[in-house]
Structure 1
């Protein structure tokens, strides 16, 4: 029996949209309120909303299966090609695509394309042989292997089995377990077509005989050690981080439930700008994301970005990304970045927006210069970055 396609309603991030009363069952509205209040602002049909449903995405994009029969798809304002470019930088997904091969028309296609790449790369690594490492093991054996536990042997001389400590080479290690868990999560997303789903299943089954299925958080993919024998795992774990960070968890229990796929655009914008600047800022400067700052003994925080002079070690700029497009800088944002600059004794504070403000900021706050600058997402990302750098560091670029 063919599975019935779910009802889908579409939103665009940060844009309110009205729906007829009979479009959304009240039980679905309750589930949105209960489970996705932070992601979606929802007003039930009242006189205020002309007796219609009113929904607004709060800066997230992706797919939410509210029930198996009812899904919400949230489209980004950013062109899909640029969203793909942001993901490449933010997650360090360095893949040399042939011209025209990364063209995608929707976020679901981006997800599917990356899932296909990951599955094929895992299958390729399985054909070569999975990376193996030595893990410590303790086991009672009838023969000596490695180092024996002398104390136990003396205390229990009648025990014919000796407690041995040894190292065993195995492929059932974190490097490979992360791959298996990610493929399992992708398989539950429901976002891939049959062709890609088949490849994902094939890659998962190729790992199953060698790897224990263990759950991992996206942080497990960061700051791992790579060397000659597992260097190709770096791109695999970068892709895994993308899927683990943006897929699930489901609010429903059970293996058959589909998982939501959601990208927080403010967080992605921050990561993208940081990685783009790290890759393209001229020599002589060091870009440091997530810089910790302590305001007093009871309150610490993180600055999105700082730029430091390598020679003098002086912090020249503090930068804060704001994924929004107001007419003017919010006073709270201005006070916040001034506090950051004061805490690290910096004279230049920059607020970064994806669009020009109608009333841009360029003021002196005591001895701190506070400016708003644009790193656009509407056109070519590299050119937008160069324009931003020219505004930020006008005397350092060729």
Structure 2
């Protein structure tokens, strides 16, 4: 597991803030590389007469670390306080309630946040290795020189000259998806270049503790979702929730040749959507319930997904539709308004809300064909639970 020793130049941005750099601060070829591979995450203007020969960069709702080239890395800081970033993560990835994670609330930087979370995962993996990895029986079929399990009699009759016997048997093994997720995540973390000298040895130790027992198989964030747990592996739920966070935000999105450092990028819009939905589900007022990512088919092979539905618990009827918008415009966009009207018409609902992390300069409250569309704020700058209660008060007022 390689951890880069190159000391690159690091330039810093803050999400949604414009920043200028002198022409000689960013090599032109590195700018091209950044534009080609990360134009979705970062707006970039090349030095021209119009930019006064400066580079112009603006992060578009992503935070994290981009290794543009071995010589140039880009660090994008969140506008949200680090403590609230972790608070969002606890809800979004079902980590709330684990007391040992509370110490992470004192993080003051994104690197410290990443390192502490990586250390928790590695430490918990080592703890599980000491107790013994979760194992299960897997059905295997092999050509053996001896009988094991069930012998394939048909093959013996058809090929009596074959000294190898085809056997079906069950093997009690730790090389299963539950453990492969852990190994792959530690491998990805080790290649991130974000691990400090304090954390790297623990990550390596945990990774090597799995080697020999677990094969290194590529895993995705989706592999961590809706897994089955029993009395033998209840602690794996936390491990897989942590793995999901790293895999969702660290997986390589490009072929990078021999360059082994991987990007770590958090899509703040996605995190905000997950956080708001999970917070509402855990703090639902009596008599109601919330649905997350409700899919509606509008025609054959065409459908759309609504972030959140507010429903009446007694009747199941949809009372309001809610859609999160992780941006801070002065006023709601026409496209977003029309989208909500379309959603409301499809669900036969009269109330629609656009949810922002910050108050709009011009609050939205309009009616269109009996459908009322309003803006609400679920702030990320205050205590999150207090902000949530304020949001609920305004929602039901």
What's the TM-score, normalizing by structure 2? 0.95
The structure 2 residue matched to 1:331, chosen from 334, 352, 368, is: 334
Aligned-pair CA distance for 1:97: 3.5
2:345 maps to 1:358: no
- Asked if 1:209 is matched to 2:199, the reply is no
Q: Give the 3-state SS of the residue equivalent to 2:108 in structure 1.
A: coil
Please give the alpha-carbon distance, in whole angstroms, between the structure 1 residues aligned to 2:155 and 2:255: 49
Q: Deviations over 1:247-296 (max 9, x none)?
A: 13164535652111101111111011011111111233221111101223
SS of the residue corresponding to residue 47 of structure 1 reads coil
Matched with 2:21 is: 19
Matches within 5 A, 1:313-352: 313-352=316-355
How far apart are the structure 1 equivalents of 2:200 and 2:101? 23
Match in the other structure for 1:146: 149
| In structure 2, distance between residues paired with 1:101 and 1:58 | 26
Contact 1:327 1:358 in 2 (8 A): yes
Query: Would the aligned equivalents of 2:70 and 2:259 in 1 still touch at CA under 8 Å?
Result: no
* 1:193-208 alignment runs, 5 A limit: 193-208=196-211
SS in 1 for 2:199: helix
Q: Which runs of 4+ in 1 moved over 4 A?
A: 98-101
Q: Deviations over 1:326-364 (max 9, x none)?
A: 111111101101111111111211110011112111222
1:286 aligns with 2:296: no
For residues 41 and 18 of structure 2, the distance between their equivalents in structure 1, rounded to whole angstroms, comes to 13
Corresponding residue for 2:106?
Answer: 103
Q: Which residue of 2 aligns with 1:185?
A: 188
2:270 pairs with 267, 281, 293, which one? Answer: 267
**Structure 1 residues 142, 28: CA separation in 2 closer, same or farther (over 3 Å shift)?**
closer
Q: Return the alpha-carbon distance in structure 2 between the equivalents of residues 140 and 79 of structure 1.
A: 59
Contact 1:294–1:343 (CA<8 Å) still a contact in 2?
A: no
After superposition, the Cα gap between the structure-2 partners of 1:228 and 1:332, relative to the gap in structure 1 and judged at 3 Å, is same
Measure how far apart 1:101 and its partner are.
4.8
Q: Are the equivalent residues in 2 in contact too, given 1:188–1:256 (CA < 8 A)? A: no
Alpha-carbon deviations, 1:277-326, whole Å to 9, x = none? Answer: 11111233221111101223353110011122222111111110001111
Gaps of 5+ in 1: none
Equivalences, count: 393
Q: Cα offset for 1:145?
A: 2.6
Q: CA deviation at 1:142?
A: 3.7
Q: Take 1:112 and 1:100, find their aligned partners in 2: how far apart are those partners?
A: 12
- Whether 1:390 and 2:388 are equivalent positions in the alignment is no
Once the 2 structures are TM-superposed, how far is the Cα of residue 140 of structure 1 from its aligned partner? 2.4
Candidates 286, 290, 302, aligned match of 1:299:
302
- CA offsets, 1:97-127, max 9 Å, x none? 4765531111111111110000000000000
Mapping of residues 11-90 of structure 1, within 5 Å: 11-90=13-92
SS at match of 1:229: coil
Structure 2 counterpart SS, 1:317: strand
Take 1:104 and 1:320, find their aligned partners in 2: how far apart are those partners?
30
Q: Output the CA distance in 2 between the equivalents of 1:393 and 1:372.
A: 13
> Which blocks of at least 5 consecutive residues in structure 2 are unaligned?
none
Measure, in 1, the Cα distance between the counterparts of 2:57 and 2:205: 39
Distance 1:128 1:149, change over 3 A: same
Distance in 2 between residues matched to 1:146 and 1:123, nearest whole Å: 34
Partner of 2:172: 169
Mapped to 1, the partners of 2:236 and 2:101 lie a distance apart of 22
> What CA distance in whole angstroms lies between the structure 2 residues aligned with 1:129 and 1:106?
35
TM-score (norm. length: structure 1): 0.95
